Amino acid sequence: MKFEGEYLNGKGKEYYDYSKLLFEGEWENNKKDGYGIFYYEDGPRYEGEFKNDKEYGYGIKYGHRWSNFYEGEHNNSFREGYGINFMSNGDKLEGEFKKDYANGYGVYYFSNGNKYEGQFKEDTFYGYGVLYFSKGDKYEGEFTNDKKDVYGVYHFLNGDRYEGKFINGKNVGYGIFYSTLGFKYKKYYKNDLFEKFVW
């Protein structure tokens, strides 16, 4: 490593051994502290606040974990707290992060107009949530690893709804279809395929 500037206290630059810039910003007691820019060796970079040599507080991280950039809170060099993750495919995730992953409540905006609001676990839809489709339908219920799971209600744009069981995103077993015309009936699904009505 090599350094330029006030390494002990003040502003300075730190370089990798092969002269590529590693960090430029503020130092205190030989540690990164205050505002700075950190350049990861494999390409991503972080611009924001540091404390005790770690990314801490508000900052923007570019090109990290399949995202175009993340803007929000950091703790111990992890994305942690409230933030917004802008994906390279045009999607956007806004909510709570813990140790680099979306954990807790959040909203995922798909580039095609769909939207998910609910619980996350390690970047996946996990627990209770509502999935809104751009065509006007919506599903509300339980999710596991991004897929409808256990039990949920599918609301159709015209007001009809279906309540039933789901496993790994597929309709299974018995469910009840409610029509806006005032009638209801049971439907039986096997591996997401409708098999029969049950009157």
Mean pLDDT of the chain: 93
Number of domains in the chain: 2
Single-letter amino acid, residue 94: E
pTM over 0.95: no
Domain extent, residue 175, equals 112-199
Does 123 share its domain with 162? yes
Does 6 share its domain with 46? yes
Per-residue pLDDT tens over the stretch 17-38: 878 899 999 999 989 999 999 9
Give the CATH number of the domain where residue 41 resides. Answer: 2.20.110.10
Per-residue pLDDT tens over the stretch 57-100: 999 999 876 678 999 999 999 999 999 999 989 999 999 999 99
**Terminus-to-terminus CA distance in the chain, angstroms?**
76
Q: What integer pLDDT is reported at residue 59 of this predicted model?
A: 97
Does 25 share its domain with 73? yes
Cα separation of 168 and 75, whole Å?
34
**Any domain includes 119:** yes
Cα separation of 144 and 50, whole Å?
35
Domain stop point among 81, 100, 128: 81
Give the CATH number of the domain where residue 170 resides. Answer: 2.20.110
